[in-house]
């Protein structure tokens, strides 16, 4: 275990070159051991799109080391879990999955088990893995992704377990290989970490300080994605609105304009936006850029000012509503989605009702709703929390059923309208895909259309599930 307090810096390109050498060395060890046959890796990602994007880079390394990927864990020579710490549920699922690897490892003692990501960044977690899960070979935190080849090589050479977790403000590593999950949809990280310290959230502790990738790097990656046929680019960051904050570099609104100017038929999305940093300038840029989806995911978390204050969100209900009003003024058809936490410590039913009234007032397309989950080390985890889980469950159901009504009314309004939909999946003659506003529509069509934009007329709306047909 190396516990250092390193300052944030960009990883020198020579270090990445060195990692490529480690990848070649790890490959030779594996080839000598296992022959030149196929080496299979099973990679599973828990949590958000940020993790999915990180996994694409980890898979890039694994591919360079000679692994192909399998969905069948029983056949895997290497299992990698990229973990999430955001709520108790994600945390428990990871431990359940790691526990289930024990009999697999007993059957195949050469199997290499790797755990990484947000959960591993927490000391109480990696200590527990160290003590109680002796069959795990390699554990690394969120700051070591660019060093996977070196760490794996260490495991292979020494036969010992390797733990590599340390605290730092965080790095930016460019030049890692990427093995993308899809061809027509691409995740594009523009920044890492978070500085907001919302009082309930573990992210700033496990992901380090906010840092932005250079715009040249982001633009080059965007051009590469588009040249390779990508139709849907999602720019990722915990708080994309503060891209390059505190510097003279390109703002997020400018970045959107630059990507929008790249030639090609594609759409641009982004997440997540923080209401405290969302500006009218950004909403104007969204409105002006024809390739930017008219969809804004703007987590409000609560509709009550006292609760927002305790959450350390940095805005009021009024400020939130003023952003929504401006967004609707400049983009009348904009689709709005949000995240909401129910049962924050000390929240009363009256205060929760302010959240209900907010969602009625805004009329979101959809919501991601969560019951508050205490995270060790956060400020909210030590606040008095008198409301029972059962009671919070009731509030939660009240919220989700209110949202179902709102969504089904919105869906009814979409009947008869035609939307541009990117066909994403095909099953038994039915394609499904999302509109620019991120609404799913099912429609009959040929499998060859997967990855293309189709004009789809909405012909039926059952609650919030839409179906349609290709309109010519
Ligand atoms: N409990 C419940 N929900 C949480 N989120 C973040 N931390 C917690 C927590 N401790 C939710 C927030 C955030 C989303 C990604 O996860 O709504 O926007
Ligand atoms: Fe967590 Fe708040 Fe940062 Fe989002 S903005 S990752 S909720 S601390």
Determine whether the shortest distance from the Cβ of 373 to ligand 1 is under 6 A: yes
Q: Whose CA is nearest to atom 6 of ligand 1?
A: 201
Determine whether the shortest distance from the Cβ of 372 to ligand 1 is under 6 A: yes
CATH code of the domain occupying 3-171: 3.40.50.12160
Name the pairing type of β-strands 9-10 and 171-172.
Answer: parallel
pLDDT on residue 181: 87
Which residue stretches of 337-388 are H helix? 349-362
Return the CATH class of domain 182-273.
alpha beta
Range 294-413 classified under CATH 3.90.79.10: no
Residues 6+ apart with CB under 8 A from 392: 342, 343, 371, 372
The pLDDT tens digits of the residues spanning 421-457 come to 999 999 999 999 999 999 999 999 999 999 999 999 9
Taking residue 124's Cβ as centre, other Cβ atoms within 10 Å add up to 9
What token pair was written down for 363? 């009329």
342 CB-side CA count, 13 A: 22
pLDDT on residue 6: 40
Atom of ligand 1 nearest to the CA of 373: 1
| CA R_g for the chain | 23
The pLDDT tens digits of the residues spanning 212-228 come to 999 999 999 999 999 99
Strands, E, within 26-108: which ranges? Answer: 39-45, 67-69, 78-83
CATH code of the domain occupying 418-470: 2.40.50.140
Domain borders along the chain are 3-171, 182-273, 294-413, 418-470
Ligand nearest to the CA of 298: 1
Atom of ligand 1 nearest to the CA of 48: 15
Query: pTM of the prediction?
Result: 0.94
User: Which of 231, 257, 216, 237 lies closest to 170 in space, CA to CA?
Assistant: 237
Ranges in the chain, pLDDT < 50: 1-8
pLDDT on residue 183: 87
Q: How far apart are CA 173 and CA 145, in angstroms?
A: 9
Q: Whose CA is nearest to atom 4 of ligand 2?
A: 238
Do residues 194 and 169 lie in contact, with contact meaning Cβ atoms separated by under 8 Å?
A: no
Burial 382-419 (b: 16+ CB within 10 A, else e): eeebebeeeebeebbebbeebbeebbeebbeebeeeeb
pLDDT on residue 2: 37
Q: Whose CA is nearest to atom 18 of ligand 1?
A: 339
Q: How far apart are CA 314 and CA 371, in angstroms?
A: 21
Topology alike, domains 182-273 and 294-413: yes
Atom of ligand 1 nearest to the CA of 86: 7
Determine whether the shortest distance from the Cβ of 392 to ligand 1 is under 6 A: no
């Amino acid at each position: 275990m190396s516990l250092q307090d390193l300052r944030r810096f960009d990883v020198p390109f020579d270090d990445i070159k060195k990692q490529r050498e480690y990848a070649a060395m790890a490959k030779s060890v594996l080839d000598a051991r296992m022959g030149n046959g196929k080496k299979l890796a099973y990679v599973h990602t828990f949590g958000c799109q940020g993790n999915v994007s990180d996994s694409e880079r980890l898979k890039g390394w694994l591919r360079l080391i000679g692994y192909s990927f399998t969905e069948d864990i029983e056949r895997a020579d290497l299992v990698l879990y990229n973990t999430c710490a955001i709520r108790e549920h994600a945390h428990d699922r990871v431990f359940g999955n790691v526990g289930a690897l024990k009999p697999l490892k007993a059957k195949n003692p050469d199997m290499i088990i790797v755990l990484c990501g947000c959960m591993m960044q927490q000391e109480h977690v990696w200590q527990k893995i160290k003590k109680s899960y002796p069959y795990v070979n390699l554990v690394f935190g969120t700051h070591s992704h660019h060093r996977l080849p070196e760490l794996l090589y260490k495991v292979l050479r020494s036969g010992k377990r390797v733990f590599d977790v340390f605290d730092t403000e965080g790095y930016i590593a460019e030049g890692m290989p990427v093995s993308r999950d899809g061809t027509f949809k691409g995740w594009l990280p523009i920044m890492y970490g978070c500085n907001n310290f919302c009082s309930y959230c573990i992210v700033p502790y496990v992901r380090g300080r906010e840092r932005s990738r250079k715009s040249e790097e982001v633009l080059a990656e965007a051009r590469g994605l588009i040249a390779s046929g990508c139709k849907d680019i999602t720019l990722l960051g915990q708080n994309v609105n503060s891209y390059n904050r505190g510097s003279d570099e390109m703002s997020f609104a400018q970045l959107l304009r630059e990507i929008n100017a790249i030639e090609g038929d594609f759409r641009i999305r982004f997440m997540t936006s923080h209401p405290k940093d969302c500006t009218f300038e950004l909403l104007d840029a969204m409105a002006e850029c024809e390739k930017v989806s008219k969809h804004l995911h703007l987590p409000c978390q609560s509709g009550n000012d006292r609760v927002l204050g305790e959450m350390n969100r940095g805005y009021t209900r009024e400020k939130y509503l003023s952003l929504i009003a401006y967004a609707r003024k400049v983009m009348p058809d904009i689709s709005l989605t949000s995240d909401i936490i129910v049962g924050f410590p000390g929240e009363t039913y009256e205060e929760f009702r302010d959240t209900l009234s907010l969602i009625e007032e805004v009329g979101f397309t959809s919501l991601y709703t969560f019951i508050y989950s205490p995270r060790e080390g956060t400020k909210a985890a030590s606040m008095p929390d008198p409301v029972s889980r059962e009671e919070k469950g009731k509030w939660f159901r009240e919220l989700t059923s209110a949202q179902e009504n709102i969504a089904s009314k919105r869906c009814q309004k979409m009947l008869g309208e035609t939307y541009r939909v990117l066909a994403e999946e095909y099953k038994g003659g039915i394609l499904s895909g999302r509109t620019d506003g991120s609404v799913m529509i099912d429609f009959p069509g040929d499998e060859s259309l997967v990855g293309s934009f189709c004009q789809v007329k909405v012909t039926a709306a059952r609650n919030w599930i839409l179906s349609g047909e290709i309109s010519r």
